[in-house]
Amino acid sequence: CRATNIILIFNKQLELVGEFKVNNCEDAHGIEVFENNLFILSTGNNKIIQTDLKGNLIDIHENCIKCSISSPHINTIKKSRDRLLVMAHRDGNNEGACLYEFNPATKECLCISRSLGECSHSILPLRERLWICDSLGGVVFSVSRKERNPEPSTSPELVKNIHIKTDGKFLLRGLALDGDSLYLGLSEKASTAERHQNVDGAVVVICAATGNTKERKIIK
């Protein structure tokens, strides 16, 4: 639950069935289950908090993403083989979105790529690639860990393939695949203060094979 330290638990019918608070968590963002533990991104203090599935604290991974003046805005975490992928809006070396690979066993956090769009969210493994939403840029792109930019300016950079372009009127937040349909979440652009009240969202259903829009549903 954003701006809190609370994790909400729903069943598959989207009925709220439980919740728990996580100490040391400030502004909870992405969560992921990995090896029967829950990993929670604490955006407000740049920590990854590890609990069991009942919320009992196991470990606190501090300052995994190094920063300078402004703290990185970590927002997305996704399981990938025996690692966790973490997306941040920025770090100490780049104001753009940055992708990290985090190893909970060793606490190592390695930057895979920087310059991955503006305020990027979501990581979807699909066809040996990682699909990502460039939230402010209004595009969905993918990267392969094998395709590196041969001449990055100052930091590691993966080559981006753009798959979906929008008119930029919405922030792109949320990406999921079900069968042959790709689900893309849209959030109406607004100021930070306005963003949490009286603004519409939407879900667009896209044919994964052709890229054609099949359905668009507005969420008031």
pLDDT at 193: 63
pLDDT at 113: 92
Q: Do 120 and 100 meet the contact criterion of CB atoms below 8 Å apart?
A: no
- The tens digit of pLDDT for each residue in 100-146 reads 999 999 999 999 999 898 889 999 998 889 999 999 999 999 999 89
- The tens digit of pLDDT for each residue in 59-94 reads 999 888 876 556 778 999 999 888 999 999 877 777
Q: pTM for the whole thing? A: 0.87
- The tens digit of pLDDT for each residue in 6-65 reads 999 998 887 999 999 998 898 889 999 999 999 999 988 889 999 999 999 999 998 888
